[in-house]
Every structure is written in C-alpha cells, then in structure tokens.
Amino acid sequence: MRRIISIFKALTLSSLRSPSVIFWNVFFPVILLLILASIFSNIGKEVSFRVNFVDESTTFKNTNMDFASYISRAFEEISAGKNAVITLQSSTTERFLNESLKKLKSGKIDAVIVIPPLFNTQIYAAVAQQKSGLNLFSKPKIEVYTLENSETSDLAFTVISSVLESFNLKILQNSAPLSDFVSPKIEYISKNGQNFSYIDFIVPGILVMAVMTVSLFGITDDLLVQREKKVLRKLFVAPLNKSEYFWAMILSNLTVEIVQTIIILVLGIYLGSHFNIGISVLLYIIFVMVTTLPIGFFIASFAKTSDAGNALANVLNFLFMFLGGLFFPITGVPLAVKIVAYAIPTTYLANGLRWAMGTMSSPTPMYLNILVPSIWAIVMIIYSAKVFKWEV
Amino acid sequence: MREFILEVEDLKKYYFDVKAVDGISFKVLKGEVFALLGPNGAGKTTTLEILEGLKDYDSGKIRLFGEEIRRKIPRRLRERIGVILQENNFVDHLKTIEILKMFRSLYPKGLDIKDILKEISLEDKANAKVEKLSGGQRQRLAIGTALVGDPELIFMDEPTTGLDPQARRNVWEMIEKLREKGKTVFLTTHYMEEAEYLADYIYVMDHGKIIAKGSAEELISSFGGEKIIEIDLDSKDLDLSFLSEFQKTKVEDSKIIIVTSYLPADMKKALDLFEERSIKIDDIIVRRPNLEDVFLNLTGRKLRD
Ligand SMILES: Nc1ncnc2c1ncn2[C@@H]1O[C@H](COP(=O)(O)OP(=O)(O)OP(=O)(O)O)[C@@H](O)[C@H]1O
Ligand SMILES: [Mg+2]
C-alpha cells in the first residue's frame, strides 16, 4: 500500500505538472464548453424582446378600476426572471413616450405599448354596454408600435397581443357570465415547460468527453510511453510489483478525472445549467470513469508502440466524441452512422449522465445506459488481460 | 571462507541466430567489485538484465544470495539489490528529491535523502526537475536511486559511459566508497582502465562467451614477461606484410603494436626492417601490457572500435 501511494503521488504530480496533460484534459474541455455554450446557447431558448411600456391613462387611478395598472403588472410579471421573453421598461411620462418611439426607430427596442389617457373609462364603459347590449362608446384601444419589416418586432407584437388577448379573456370572465361570442384564445404560456436547453445538453457531454480523454490517453501514457521511455523497467528492478504500479496508475488517472469533473460541473453551474448534484450523479460519473478506463487498457494492449497507441487513442476518442452525440444530438444521419452511434459506449454514457443530472430524459432506456458501457468495459478487460504484456 | 553473493552457471540466451549470452559461468564474492569487460555487443547488458529479472533466459542456473532464481526475482531479494541500467529514465516533471523519495519508499530500509543528495553531489539540484538535469547529473541521480535503499548488491551497467573524465572520477570514487562499506558491486564496462582501476575481479566477455578472467594483475601477467613495442608511423596504407616475422602484431592506422617476449632482439629487428624499407618512424615506445593488450591478444580486436 505504501508503495502504491508513493507511485500514485509521483504519477499524479507528474500529470498535474505536465503542460500538455493540463491543456488537453482541463483547458481544452473548458474552452470547448465555453465556445459551444456561447455559440449555441440560443437553441431552444426564446429570444428576449425589448419592450417599452407607456401608461398615459389618467382616469380611475389608484382604484380597483385601474385596468391599465393590471396590464402593466401582467407585463412586468412576464418580464421578470432570467430567461424572460421580454425585457420591459415602463413609465408614464410624455418624454418617455417620445424617447421610446425614437429608440424603436433606431432598432434599440422592438415594440412600444401605449395605454391611452381614457383607457380605464373606456373599459368601464365597454363592460357596462356589453352587459346592457348597447353600442354607444368606442372600443377601448391599446396602441402597440412596432417596426416595419423587422422580424423581431413582428414576433414581439405576437407575444404582446397574446398577452393582451388573455387579458381580454380575464375581463370578460370577471365582468360577464362567460359570453359565448368570445371564443377563448390560447393563453400566453410563460416559460415553465420542458424546453431544450443546450447548456444542460452540453455539460454532461463535455464531462464524458473529458473523462474519456484521460482514460484513453492517460493509460496509453502510463503504460506504453513509460515502457518505451524505459521508466517502467527502472521501477520494476526496484522492489515494486507490477500490480502495485497498475493500481497506482488507476488511482492517478481517477484523480485527474475527479479534478476535471469538479471544474466542469462548477463551470456548468456558472453557465446556467440547473442539474442535480446527488448520489445518482456521483455514482454515474464514477461509472463513466470506471467503464472508460478499460478502453485505455485495450489501447495499451492492442498497440505495440506508443505512437501506434496515441494514434489509436486519437481515432477512438474522435469516434466516441462525435458519434456519441456528446456535443450535438445525433439526428438526420445515415443509417450506418446511426448503427455505429448506438454501438459505442459514449452515446449511452452521455444519455445516462444527462438523465442522472435530471436535466434531460434519456432517449435510450436507463438499463441500456448501464448495460452497454459495462459490456464494453468487460470485453476490453478480458481482451487486455489476455493480450497485455509488460515487456519492460 | 567468504561467501558468494551471486553464482551463475552455464547461462545461455539466444536471439534466433545471435548468441547474446553463450554459456557463461562466474561467481561473485560478497564485498568485491566485479567487472564484466567487453566490447559493444559482447552480451554484457543481456547478462545483467537476466540477473536483474528483466529478461528471460534459455538455460542455466542462477543463485542470488544463495537462493536459486527462476525468471522472476522475488521482492525480498530485490529489496537487497540496487540497479543502474544502461539507460536510466524517470517519470517526467518530478524533482530530483521527489524521485529519490519515491525510490526510497519502495525499500523497507534505506539512507537519508539528504545524505544521498550529498553523496551524489546533487544538493543544489534537489529541486530541479529531472528533465532539466545534464547527462552527468542524470547518471548521478540514477546512482542515487540505486543506493537509496542501502542495498547489499549493486548492478551497474556501464556507469561511466558518456561522462567526462571528471565525472567519471567521481563515479569511481563512489564505487570505491561502496567497496569500503562492504557492498558488492557488479559492473560492466568497455573501458579497460575502469576495470583495471576499480575491479577486484574481471571477466572478459566477447561474443557471449567469457574469454579470460582474473584480477587485472593476473590478466596482465598472463602475458608472462612479454612487453609491448608501440610504433607510430608518419604515414598510413603502407605495405606492412613484413610484420609477419613477429609472432603477435596488430596494425591500426599508423600505429603498430608488437608483442615481444625478447625485447632487445625484436626491437633491433623492427628497427632494421623499417630501415631497410626506408619507412619513417615518428615515435617508438616500450611499455608493460595493459588490459587493452590482453583483449587484443585474445581476440585480435581492440575493445573499442
Ligand atoms: N532484444 C534483442 N533482440 C535481438 N538481439 C538482441 C536483443 N538484445 C540484444 N541483442 C543482441 O545481443 C547481443 C548482445 O547485446 P548486449 O546489449 O548484451 O551487448 P553489450 O555487451 O551490453 O553491448 P554495449 O556495450 O553496446 O552495451 C548483441 O549482438 C545484440 O544485438
Ligand atoms: Mg550494454
């Protein structure tokens, strides 16, 4: 045990001091995560519209007939929170109106909502005459200014009108026993639903990639490179047994993987991914580590030289990374590619980890997410045990 | 009677048609410096690596610390052995002191790290990364890792090859000290002066076979009363076939070596022969034979080519 710890310390220290190990296993995943997250963070997330709200109404202020303030509050509510669909600025002054219209023209905002001075009175009158069946007063109107030929402005109008529509409905419900002639429109749905969030998708993907990279290249380095550099023979002529070196190597690679995991999870939280950190996540991350290490043994057993080992590690890493759907969902690919994707362990590991993190449902059943990587690991271990020779 | 720490009997290791080690036998006494002397490819490293447990062998018997060894060397014996390989490499990015500590922790007992650093004169490089060490410093570190476990038997494969004369002297001193401490040193070398200076007992190896053995003194006196006439010529590529009049000669470039058991007559004969052919002599010396000459005498080749 003393010897295992001492070799473990030496190998780990060496890894953590190695610029290339740190670059490929820590900086690279971090940079990749940042780049992918910043490029694709809008996938599945509604665009936020910039809307100014001008309340010019003067009648029935500070009473329960102040409909204008109800509308204002409704907009404020949906503009609250981080991923809100609109960002709202509101005021009641004439100057604010002029400024807002100017900003709209220059494209700094997407829409301006104006509540006219007699709005509350008009509503009151409208409700009253609806009850009585008369048609004396003009309908209450809210002006929504948008920019011509602007797609975002159009979308903003759609969102605003759906909010107003639902407000319409509410007034009718409160003021009249459900009138038949107003068919209820779809209520505006605020952001609660199961939406695709790229950051939730990519964090587990990057984590699987990072851990796999260490498993593949770390073992190749510890076995093939150190053998070729004649470091191993120097150790084995001293009173160190091969099994002790083996376990020290495993521990050392696990340590690097744990460091990576912590960094990526912290960064993921910072970038806005809301995953659970519970026992199931921790167990599944350990599962990822334990099932990818045998692929490293396979490389060290199959390849005769460190160059061949590195080449094989690169090929497998590349294949497992892109066909495993770590960064992008595998859709719309030819059948042959799909078959490969569903044969390799990373597809299942990423699905399993996304499921364990509670951010996404897994397209593959959870028992397969355990079974397939386990089968890979067992086969690789059996192969390595048969083929690997220390040959120091 | 002193005990043998290592006994080898009829050891063989062939690589297809290459007879790397071809039935060698020897015994190493506890506390002596034992040298395996031979040219490149003689089979020295192969022999040593078999004894260190790094290589399999085809046949033969090995007794280490009185215990018969098959293939693997058990840990309890490795704990009593220090090894300097022909090429010593360490895990990258570690400091000198960290490497020594790591090796120290592999042995049940051992020396103080500070003492070892002083012994190998790397105190000021204790915190230097191993990849920043010079060749000589690396070699000293290799010696440090072999000695840190305070072993009884130390295998050294060409411990001074590639070192400058000063560094070589340092290593020689270290080996002398080990002998004083009663350690057994088994070294290989292709420097005859190294074997001559350090070794209590020398085995001369060539083409996988032992061709001579004994102390330096004994090997040299195997020449009997013979002396060496060394003649330097002005020019090379001359017709020197007349040298066949002597029993043992060797020509290389412009240097002629004549082994003689009757100096005055052979000296005169040599001078006359050159005079007759008006070949100019640059320099001529007479000296005692050394190990180089022993090797030459046995094989007709020089140790280093
Ligand atoms: N793995 C191998 N496969 C084939 N031949 C080998 C192998 N290792 C050594 N040999 C051959 O065995 C012979 C002895 O080699 P060895 O390394 O023991 O020589 P050496 O005396 O240590 O030489 P040097 O002074 O150059 O280190 C050489 O002819 C060498 O080419
Ligand atoms: Mg050698």
Pair (A153, A270) in one structural domain: no
Query: Hey, is the C-beta of A95 within 8 angstroms of any chain B C-beta?
Result: no
pLDDT band at A79 (very low <50, low <70, confident <90, very high): confident
In a domain, A243, yes or no: yes
A181 within some domain:
no
Interface of A with B in 188-247 (CB under 8 A): 226, 229-231, 233-241
Which residues from A are below 8 Å from B101, CB to CB?
Answer: 6
Residues near A356 by beta carbon (within 8 Å), at least 6 away in sequence: A276, A280, A281, A283, A284
User: What residues pair up with B72 in beta bridges, in sequence order?
Assistant: B70
Is the pLDDT confidence value at B78 over 50? yes
Q: Note the ipTM here.
A: 0.85
3-state secondary structure of B89: coil
**Per-residue model confidence as pLDDT tens digits over B242-280:** 877 787 787 777 788 888 888 888 888 888 888 888 888
Q: Are residues A27 and A77 in the same domain?
A: no
Residues A214 and A345 in one domain: yes
d(CA B105, CA A380): 33
For residues A29 and A161, state if they share a domain.
no
Q: Which residue from A10, A236, A240 is facing B91, i.e. has the nearest CB?
A: A10
Residue located nearest, by CA, to atom 16 of ligand 1: B43
What are the residues whose beta carbons fall under 8 Å from the beta carbon of A338, sequence distance 6 or more?
Answer: A330
Task: Say whether both A54 and A125 belong to one domain.
Answer: yes
pLDDT of residue A181: 31
Judge whether B150 and B103 are in contact, CB under 8 Å. no
- Note whether B145 and A238 are within 8 A (CB): yes
For residues A118 and A264, state if they share a domain.
no
Same domain, A60 and A128: yes
> Which positions ≥6 away from A102 have C-beta within 8 Å?
none
Q: Is B89 in the pocket of ligand 1 (CB under 6 A)?
A: no
- pLDDT digit string, tens, across residues A95-142: 888 888 888 888 788 888 888 888 888 777 777 776 666 666 666 777
In-domain check, residue A189: no
**Confidence at residue A182, expressed as pLDDT on a 0 to 100 scale:** 32
Question: Position A25: which residue type?
Answer: N
B277-281 long-range contacts, CB within 8 A, separation 24+: B277/B242, B279/B233, B279/B238, B280/B233, B280/B234, B280/B235, B281/B231, B281/B232, B281/B233, B281/B234
Structural domain containing residue A130: 49-175
Per-residue model confidence (pLDDT) at position A299:
96
Q: Are residues A216 and A348 in the same domain?
A: yes
- Per-residue pLDDT at A70: 80
Of B225 and B24, the one with more pLDDT = B24
CB contact under 8 Å between B92 and A14, yes or no, is yes
Burial class (CB in 10 A: 0-12, 13-18, 19+), A368: middle
Nearest CA to ligand 1 atom 17: B45
Tell me the three state secondary structure of residue B90.
Answer: coil
Are A168 and A214 in the same domain? Answer: no
* Residues A7, B78: C-beta atoms closer than 8 Å: no
CATH code for the domain of A114:
3.40.1710
Out of A175, A209, A239, a domain closes at: A175
Residue B142 CB contacts under 8 Å (≥ 6 apart), including other chains: B84, B85, B88
Q: Based on the domain organization, do A28 and A57 belong to the same domain?
A: no
- What's the alpha-carbon Rg for chain B, to the nearest Å? 22
Question: Which listed ligand is nearest to B85 at the C-alpha?
Answer: 2
A216 and A244 fall within a common domain: yes
**Residue minimizing CA distance to atom 6 of ligand 1:** B15
- Measured from the Cα of B47, ligand 1's closest atom is 18
Q: Are residues A27 and A59 in the same domain?
A: no
> What global pTM score does this model have?
0.76
Is B89–A392 a contact, with Cβ atoms under 8 angstroms apart?
no
Contacts of A252 in chain B (CB under 8 A): none
Taking alpha carbons only, the member of A237, A377, A202 closest to residue A298 is A377
Domain assignment present for A184? no
Contact A237 B81 (CB under 8 A): yes
HSE-CB at B133 with a 13 A cutoff on CA atoms is 28
Strands (E), chain B: 4-15, 18-29, 33-37, 59-64, 67-69, 81-84, 153-157, 184-189, 201-206, 209-214, 227-233, 248-252, 255-260, 281-287
CA distance A88 to A165: 19
Q: Say yes or no: B92 contacts chain A, CB-CB below 8 A.
A: yes
- Report the alpha-carbon distance of residue B182 to residue A171 in Å, rounded: 106
- A39-53, A108-122, A140-154, A193-207: segment of lowest average pLDDT: A39-53
Has residue A185 been placed in a domain?
no
Task: Answer yes or no: is the C-beta of B40 below 6 A from any ligand 1 atom.
Answer: yes
For the CA of B43, the nearest ligand: 1
Choose one of A140, A175, A210: the last residue of a domain. Answer: A175
- The answer as to whether A341 is a domain residue is yes
Give the pLDDT mean for A12-30.
Answer: 91
Show Cβ contacts of residue B217 under 8 Å, excluding neighbours closer than 6 positions.
Answer: none
Atom 29 of ligand 1, residue of closest alpha carbon: B41
Secondary structure (H, E, C), chain A: CHHHHHHHHHHHHHHHHCHHHHHHHHHHHHHHHHHHHHHHCCCCCCCCEEEEEEECCCCCCCCCCCHHHHHHHHHHHHHCCCCCCEEEEEECCHHHHHHHHHHHHCCCCCEEEEECCCHHHHHHHHHHHHHHCCCCCCCCCCEEEECCCCHHHHHHHHHHHHHHHHHHHHHHHHHCCCCCCCCCCCCCCCCCCCCCCHHHHHHHHHHHHHHHHHHHHHHHHHHHHHHHCCHHHHHHHCCCCHHHHHHHHHHHHHHHHHHHHHHHHHHHHHCCCCCCCCHHHHHHHHHHHHHHHHHHHHHHHHCCCHHHHHHHHHHHHHHHHHCCCCCCCCCCCCHHHHHHHCCCHHHHHHHHHHHHCCCCCCCCCHHHHHHHHHHHHHHHHHHHHHHCCCCC
Q: pLDDT over 90 for what percent of chain B? A: 54
Count of domains observed in chain A? 2
Question: How many Å separate Cα A263 from the centre of its chain?
Answer: 16
Determine the distance separating the centroid of ligand 1 and the alpha carbon of B41, expressed in angstroms.
5
Please check whether residue A192 lies inside any domain of the structure.
no
Q: Is residue A392 part of a domain?
A: no
CA distance A387 to chain B (A): 19
Q: Do B106 and A238 touch (CB under 8 A)?
A: yes
